[in-house]
Amino acid sequence: MLLSDLQTGDEGVVVRVSGHGHFRKRIIEMGFIKGVKVQSILNAPLNDPIKYRIMNFEVSLRRADASKVEIVTLQEAKEWERQKTVGSGEGKGLWGDQPPLPADDKRSAVDRLVENKTHTINVALVGNPNCGKTSIFNIAAHAHERVGNYSGVTVDEKVGTFQHGGYTFNLVDLPGTYSLSAYSPEELYVRKHIIEKNPDIILNVVDGSNLQRNLYLTTQLIDMDITMVMALNMYDELQRSGDRLDIGQLSTLLGMPIVPTTGRSGDGIDRLFDKIIEVYEGRDTTTRHIHVNHGRELERCIKQLRTELYEHGFSDSLSTRFLAIKLLENDKQLEQYTNQRDPDGSVIKMRDQIADKFKKEIGRRLVDKDISKGHQVTVEEEPQDIESAITDAKYAFVRGALAECYTKNEKSTLHKHTDRIDAIVTHRWLGYPVFLIFMFITFYCTFALGAYPMDWIDALFGWLGELVTDNMAEGPLRSLLADGIIAGVGSVIVFLPNILILYLFISFMEDSGYMARAAFIMDKLMHKMGLHGKSFIPMIMGFGCNVPAIMATRTIEDRKSRLLTMLVIPMMSCSARIPVYVILVSAFFSKYAALVLTGLYLLGMIMAVLMAKLFSRFVVKGDSLPFVMELPPYRMPTAKAVLRHTWEKGKEYLKKMGTIILAASIIVWALSYFPTNADRKVQAENSYMAKIGKTIEPAMKPCGFDWKQSVSLLSGVFAKEVVASTMTVVYATSSEEAEELEDFEAEENGSRISQLIQQNMTPLSAASMLLFILLYMPCLSTIIAIKNESGKWKWAFFTMAYTIGLAWIASTLLFQIGSLLL
Ligand code: GDP
Ligand code: MG
């Protein structure tokens, strides 16, 4: 608990002191060091300040200060021991994995809890996008988070807990950022995490093959005055390039230990965490607080503002130097924070004066000086403002540091292949056919190769069904098993191979870096639609599953493009729709299967683009801003990463089978089996399912759907696969056709469900249903994802409404025009 929560008269033992700079130092100097006992002895009338006894003398602390000291009390320790014994069966207590206590441990419960808490290190991974943070996180925490060779793969924080060197690590993987200003949601997010969660150590991951840009973020972290360790990642690439880096020297210059790592293979990661322990325990000798020197003029401005901040008592939770620099950079969020704590606004007033003066006097001089030295070729009329002067100074610092310890190998062949491949795939004309070929190969393999294992699984479930039918007595139980569970789940599980193959291709394209190129060549086209090139990656991801695709829109900095992309992602045909497509296509259009399927996917994309254009004109107002898209070097993905990525998806799919699909199959079976009736033909027409179906049938009639198709579509609201299982169950339980099938089966004329569908539908109504499934409302998880990402229910409802409306209109047109023509 916090020291400020300690009741008068009670005792506790100090575990750690958070807070900042001078403030923290002062508290530690008073004697609040880990392992020391404190007692609360007197509360002032308003509970502030509080008097404590520590090491036999008395000190008084303000409540706010006391809340920065974490302690452990006897009561907490006892509760902890109790939890541990309760949870020891699984080896997991309230505080995570614990090694069993040695029998001769004579220490008190409090000592043990203090030891446990002080042996827990909270580490946050901070670095540029695509520098390998998640790779390191996965290896250290044995996790399977997504990695991908383009920026913005990790969109929210992921926490992993593991043991290393006798310590428990809580490792947090944060989204990648280039800087810590408040421009994008990611930047704000990372900054907030560092300030509010106060991790013990910031693990700054740096891409060794791109030092200059990566170290810019490091300089901002240094301003924050936090304890850091640097992972010099992509060390394999740095070595291969032939560039030379004096790591010891850089480490001294930056005042933090640097450990070379290769996130892909895991080299250096053990040493990295050994180093973190050393730093945490204060044993590391390179760690020191340095100031990034911004040059004399700027430093004077910073110091002036900092003094003002100090006098206003800003020193407790944030480095005043960081705050001063950010305020000079015109950071709106921190300006607000400052104004809250300084209502008369004198700090901001001073900031404005300093910035003004800088621009008038020094900014102009800097420009002049540059001209005189002949550096600046184009002379800007406007004198430099303090914000850009700070950025320049930081880059100057990085360049200076690198000049001392880094020599680039001019003859480096690293990433040469990247240029060669890019010459083709991002070529003005060639780029598009290459992309189309990739897409075609992807879908061809998904459906053509997937057909083989699909047949095996289909046969397996057919056999299972027969086994049940042959060996059980006629009755509800047999029907539940054969027509409900086996038919329902089986009808969906056969698509596992297709889905795995699709994900294999998507993972490969993401991991190799091709996806970023695809986004690049689509940029121009996307702009015309009010979208952005970056919208393209989430859209392609939508082919897998709409939910992560919608989350991935976070990388789109521009609000308007982000929202538009979210709204049209449901048009991208997700893999859950595959089962229904294939069932319908193989029943009616098996000769043109590839053509029809490709057509459906393309139609979805075209609709997405049209809708985006429409919405950007009439629904989502505002201009979209251009921004830079990065093209990371190609990296051969590790087979392990691609396979794991694919398998994770497969596992999710199987999990869905065991939960949503199983439950839906049982519910749908029950609704179509009851109320029971001896006459099966009559029964199907009277079931609850039929009642629901017939209620909505009139509305669906224009699209050409009867009640069976209508309820199937309705059930798809939970998950799209359910449409397939519902159709199977509804047809399997309904009427005499099921009986007649026995005769058909001998003829080996397509699968059982195909025949049922052929008897119940026409090619035209099947085509209309395919169209409806492509366009209508996405599953509930997607709707919720849209609500969460857009922040408003309004957009979730809007998506539901427009997709259903669009599907209805399109299917009705198709069916009615088709009926007239045929
Ligand atoms: P994040 O965006 O910082 O989380 O980066 P990721 O962990 O997603 O990795 C980005 C890309 O770099 C992936 O393709 C990884 O396979 C690759 N990668 C990560 N670490 C290394 C490394 O040390 N060496 C090389 N060559 N590639 C790496
Ligand atoms: Mg990541």
Q: Do 531 and 560 contact (CB within 8 A), yes or no?
A: no
Q: Is 249 exposed, middle or buried (0-12, 13-18, 19+ CB in 10 A)?
A: middle
Q: Do 126 and 204 contact (CB within 8 A), yes or no?
A: yes
> Probe ligand 1: pick from 126, 138, 147, 631, max atoms within 8 Å of CB?
147
Cβ(130) to ligand 1 under 6 A?
yes
Ligand 1 atom 9, closest CA: 132
Distance of CA 347 to the CA centre of its chain: 38
- Sign of the torsion angle spanned by Cα atoms 541, 544, 546, 547: negative
Cβ(13) to ligand 1 under 6 A?
no
b/e per residue 154-168 (b: at least 16 CB within 10 A): bbeebebebebeebb
> Probe ligand 1: pick from 125, 130, 133, 135, max atoms within 8 Å of CB?
135
Cβ(176) to ligand 1 under 6 A?
yes
Residue ranges of the chain whose pLDDT lies below 50: 88-98, 376-380, 735, 737-738, 740-749
Cβ(264) to ligand 1 under 6 A?
yes
Report DSSP state, residue 173: E
Distance between Cα 275 and ligand 1 center (Å) = 21
Residue 734, SS3? coil
pLDDT for 642 equals 85
| Residues 779-820 pLDDT 10s | 888 898 899 888 889 999 999 999 999 999 999 999 999 999
Ligand 2 is an ion; its neighbours by CB within 5 Å are: 134, 153-154
Ligand 1 atom 20, closest CA: 263
Report the side by side order of strands in the sheet with 167-173. 158-164, 167-173, 120-127, 201-207, 228-233, 258-260
Cβ(131) to ligand 1 under 6 A?
yes
pLDDT for 683 equals 59
Residues 544, 782: Cα–Cα separation, whole Å:
12
Q: Do 715 and 689 contact (CB within 8 A), yes or no?
A: no
- Which atom of ligand 1 is closest in space to residue 137's alpha carbon? 7
Q: How many other C-beta atoms are found inside a 10 Å radius of the C-beta of residue 778?
A: 27
pTM for the full predicted model: 0.74
pLDDT for 245 equals 94
Looking at all shown ligands, the one closest to residue 233's CA atom is 1
Distance between Cα 238 and ligand 1 center (Å) = 13
Nearest to 584 by CA among 315, 428, 774: 774
